[in-house]
Structure 1
């Protein structure tokens, strides 16, 4: 009997969304087909390099809401989450805390051509307790 997918996590790197957001599109389509809820998450740095950002939780939360508004996910219940810290660790931690059934994420940083699988995706695949669907750009 196939496993039911009720909750999907899709981490997005808001700094690279102008380049690629294929994983988000794939996650939305999967959630629509499976009737699953979708968590869209972004991970902000612990120490913000941009001195114009005074409250990174609020800033990245607003950016995440703008992204979802520009790319609506019709008919899906969505939770937006902003975390701080190391991206690969926060994705695995969030998936564990929320008991996620599936993580859908990009393969690599679009600027890095030398990796077969990006270091973040590789860590998540290795350490996540759930299935991980890696989307190649």
Structure 2
């Protein structure tokens, strides 16, 4: 029997969201089909490279809200979460804390065509306690 999916986590790299959001689209459709809640997260850097950004968490929360407005997930419950720190560690930590059923994420940085599985995705696959669906870009 298939496992019940009630909570899906979808990390979004907002630096590449304009060109690559296939994993987000997949997560939205999966949530619709399964009647699941979707947590969309982005991970802000510990040290912001852009010195004009004074409040990193607030800035990235706003950017995540813009992304969701331009890619609405109609018909499903969506929660937005911004974390600071190491991307791969924060994804695994959030998945563990919230006891998500599956993580749906991109495979690699869209500029890196030489790797089959990006370092963030490979870390999440190796360390997450839940299933991970890796969407190739």
TM-score normalised by L of structure 2: 0.99
Q: How many angstroms does 1:114 deviate by? A: 1.3
In the alignment, structure 1 segments of 5+ residues that lack a partner are none
Q: Runs in 1 of length 4+ with deviation above 6 angstroms?
A: none
Match of 2:18 in 1: 18
Within 5 A, what are the aligned runs for 1:1-137? Answer: 1-137=1-137
Count of residue correspondences: 137
Q: Deviations over 1:64-123 (max 9, x none)?
A: 001001110011111100000000000000000000000000000001111110000000
Deviation of residue 13 (structure 1)?
0.2
The separation in 2 between residues aligned to 1:117 and 1:49, in whole angstroms, is 26
Please give the per-residue CA displacement for 1:30-70, whole angstroms capped at 9, x wherever unaligned: 00000000000000000101011000110000000010011
C-alpha RMSD of matched pairs (Å): 0.5
SS in 1 for 2:104: strand
d(CA) in 1 for partners of 2:31, 2:2: 16
Give distance in 1, aligned partners of 2:111 and 2:86: 19
TM-score scaled by length of structure 1: 0.99
What is the Cα deviation at residue 2 of structure 1?
1.3
Partner Cα distance (1:58, 1:102) in 2: 27
- C-alpha distance in 1 between matches for 2:35 and 2:98: 17
CA distance in 2, matches of 1:94, 1:136: 22
Secondary structure in 2 matching 1:31: helix
Structure 2 gaps, min length 5: none
